[in-house]
Amino acid sequence: MEDTIAAIATAYGEGGIGIIRISGETALPLLEEIFEPFAQGEKPVNRKMTYGRIVDRQTGQTVDECLAVYMKGPRTYTAEDVVEIDCHGSVVSLRRTLELILRSGARMAEPGEFTKRAFLNGRIDLSQAEAVVDTVRAKTEKSHEAALSQLEGALSRQVRTIRAALLDLLVNVTVNLDYPDEDIEEITYDNLINQISLIGEMIEKLRATTATGRMIRDGIRVVIGGRPNVGKSSLMNGLLRESRAIVTDVPGTTRDTIEEVMDIRGIPVYLIDTAGIHDTEDRVEKLGIQRSRDAFEQADYIILVLDGSQPLQEEDEQLLAEIRGRKSLVLINKEDLGGRISPEDLKEILPGADVLTTSMATGSGITEVEDRIEELVYGGQLHQENSVLVTSVRHGELLRQAAEDLERGLAMARRREPLDLIEVDVRSAYDALGEMIGETVTDTVLDEVFSRFCLGK
Ligand SMILES: Nc1nc2c(ncn2[C@@H]2O[C@H](COP(=O)(O)OP(=O)(O)OP(=O)(O)O)[C@@H](O)[C@H]2O)c(=O)[nH]1
Ligand SMILES: [Mg+2]
C-alpha cells in the first residue's frame, strides 16, 4: 500500500460539482503539484478548504477552478493522507484533473480500493466495509437504514459478542486438554453442552434475520401473471399509482414483460407485468408468453390474477396448478362485475392458496396486496426498528457454517466424546465468525468483496 491512489468519486455525467479523491503518502505533494491557491502565498492546510485553480504545469493552462482540502491521516476515510478536490462536475474537467494527478505519479484506484484501505488499515472491519457499498446502492429507506446500521458496526458488535463467548469456551477446553493434571476447574460435559447450546442460540437468532435482510437489501421480484385481459397491467399501474403499462379491453395488450422498481413500505420491489398466458398461434404473442414463463421461473413471489366476472377457465386452472409450491397470491379480480369465482373453487387445485378478491376498477385490494408483500419479507414478524439484520449472502453462509459446527460439537458433547474432537468444531465456528468481520480472511475473499464496489469509493 505504498502507492498513492486517485479516482473520480462522483457519478459520471453532468453535476454541480464533481469530486476527485486521492489517498496515500504523496497526497499532499501531489496536490501542491497541480493546485494553486488564489490567495497569494496561501498553502493547503490540514482540514481546511482552499480555493484555487487546477493548473497544468507543462502549459501553464488553467484546467478548472476548484476547492481542495487536505486531510492528514490517520483520522481520514482510508486512515492515510487524503486529498479531495471539488471541481465543476463536468466530465471534461474531472477527467483532465485526474489525468494531471496520474501524470504526477498517482495510480488509478481500483473499485473499492479506498474502502479496502480503510479496512486494511484497521479503521473499519470487513462487515462495515461491505456496508459501504450497500449504503451507496440502497434504493429504499429501509435498505438504507439496514446498511447504515451495519456500517456503524451493529452487526460487528453482535458477532464480536458471540466470538468472545466462543473464545471463552475454547480457552476452557484447551486448558483442560493441555493441563489435565493441574488444579484448574474441570470442564464438565454438562457445562459444555450448556455453553455450546447458548452460543448456538445466539447464532440462530442472528441467522433468522438473513432472509428478511437479503430481501431488504436486494429487493424481491414480484411477477404478475395470468391469462389475457384479467387485469394484470391494471394491477401494475395500481401498485405504481401511475399509468405505466398500457391497459385496454383487447386481450393480448401486453406483449412483452414490463419491469419497474418500486418502493413498497420501504422494501425494494421489482414489479414485473407479463403478457397474458394462453394457447396461441401468433408468433409475437408466443415469444411474449415464453418471457412470461421465464419471469415466473425467477419470481420470488407470483401474483396470479383471475377474472372473477367469468367462471374459472381451463387456462386459469393450468396456471394455478403450475404455481403449486411457489410463494404466491391469487387475485380474484373484477369483483365490481360480480363474483363468478369463489375462493373455495381454488382450494382443490391450489391447496392452501392465499386468495384476495379485488377490483382494479375501484382500487379495492391494492393495500392488501402491499400487506402481503410486507408479510412475505418480514415473515409475519413485526419489524423492529434498529434491529440488526444480516443482509449479505456471504454473512448468511458463514453463520450457517458456524451453526453447523456447533451442532456437531454439541452432538459430540452429548455422546461424551473426547474434548479435542469437540474443540475442532468450536474453533471452526470461531473462525467462520471471524471471517464475517474480516479477522480471518483470505485475499480471494477480499478481492471478491471489493470487486463489487464502484470506482472512487
Ligand atoms: N370492471 C373492471 N374492469 C377491469 C378490472 N381490472 C381490469 N379491468 C379492465 O379489463 C381490461 C383488461 O385489463 P388489463 O389490465 O389490460 O389486463 P391484462 O391482464 O394486462 O391483459 P393483457 O395485457 O391483454 O394480458 C381493461 O379494459 C381494464 O380496464 C376490474 O377490476 N374491474
Ligand atoms: Mg397487460
Give residue 384's pLDDT.
Answer: 62
Q: Which ligand is nearest to the CA of 250?
A: 1
379-408 pLDDT, tens digit per residue, is: 866 556 557 899 999 999 999 999 999 999
Contact 450, 110 (CB under 8 A): yes
Q: Which of 120, 40, 33 is nearest to 85 (CA)?
A: 33
Residue 453 pLDDT exceeds 90: no
**Higher local confidence (pLDDT), 181 or 411:** 411
More confident residue, 54 or 446: 54
User: Is residue 234 within 6 Å of ligand 1 at its C-beta?
Assistant: yes
* pLDDT over 80 at 242, yes or no: yes
**CA separation for the pair 149, 152 (Å, rounded):** 5
Q: What pLDDT is recorded for position 213?
A: 93
Q: Which CATH number fits domain 5-109: 3.40.120.10, 3.30.1360.120, 2.40.50.140, 3.30.565.10?
A: 3.30.1360.120
Q: What gap in Å lies between CA 118 and CA 296, rounded to an integer?
A: 42
Residue 454 has pLDDT above 90, yes or no: no
Q: Which residues fall within 8 angstroms of residue 183, CB to CB, at 6 or more apart?
A: none
Please state, in angstroms and rounded to a whole number, the distance separating the CA atoms of residues 338 and 60.
Answer: 80
Q: In the prediction, which pLDDT does 448 show? A: 81
pLDDT tens digits, one per residue of 415-441: 999 999 999 999 999 999 999 999 888
227-378: CATH, from 2.40.30.10, 3.40.50.300, 3.80.30.10, 3.40.250.10: 3.40.50.300
Ligand 2 centroid–CA 235 distance in Å is 9
Residue 109: the pLDDT is: 96
Residues contacting residue 188 through CB under 8 Å, at least 6 positions apart: none
pLDDT in tens, 55-87: 999 999 999 999 999 999 999 999 999 999 999
Task: Report which bound ligand comes closest to the CA of 253.
Answer: 1
Residue nearest to atom 7 of ligand 1 (CA): 231
- Cell for 293? 414463463
Beta strands in 59-215 (DSSP E): 61-71, 82-89, 107-108
Q: Tell me the domain boundaries of the chain.
A: 5-109, 131-209+390-450, 227-378
Regarding the beta carbon of 338 and ligand 1, being less than 6 Å apart is answered no
- What does the block give as the cell for 4? 498513492
User: Could you read off the pLDDT of 130-172 as tens digits, one per residue?
Assistant: 999 999 899 999 999 999 999 999 999 999 999 999 999 998 8
What is the assigned CATH class of domain 131-209+390-450?
A: mainly alpha
Tens digits of residue pLDDT in 174-200: 887 777 666 666 778 999 999 999 999
Average pLDDT of the segment spanning 26-31:
96
Residue 252 CA, closest ligand 1 atom number: 24
pLDDT of 2 over the 80 cut: no
Looking at residue 385, its pLDDT comes to 58
On the question of pLDDT at 241 being above 90, the answer is yes
Lowest mean pLDDT among 129-138, 217-226, 321-330, 436-445: 436-445
pLDDT at 382: 56
Q: Which of 224, 227, 229, 232 to mutate to test the pocket of ligand 1 (most atoms within 8 A of CB)?
A: 229
Which of 243, 247, 340 should be mutated for ligand 1, with most atoms under 8 A from CB? 247
Q: What CA–CA distance (Å, rounded) separates 306 from 455?
A: 47
Other Cβ atoms less than 10 A from the Cβ of 410: the count is 20
Region 289-313 average pLDDT: 95
Spell out the long-range contacts of 201-205 with Cβ–Cβ below 8 A and sequence spacing 24 or more.
202/158, 202/161, 202/162, 202/165, 203/162, 203/399, 203/402, 203/403, 203/406, 203/429, 203/433, 204/403
230 lines ligand 1 (CB under 6 A): yes
In angstroms, the first-to-last Cα distance of the chain is 16
Mean pLDDT of the chain, nearest integer? 93
CB 125 within 8 A of CB 435: no
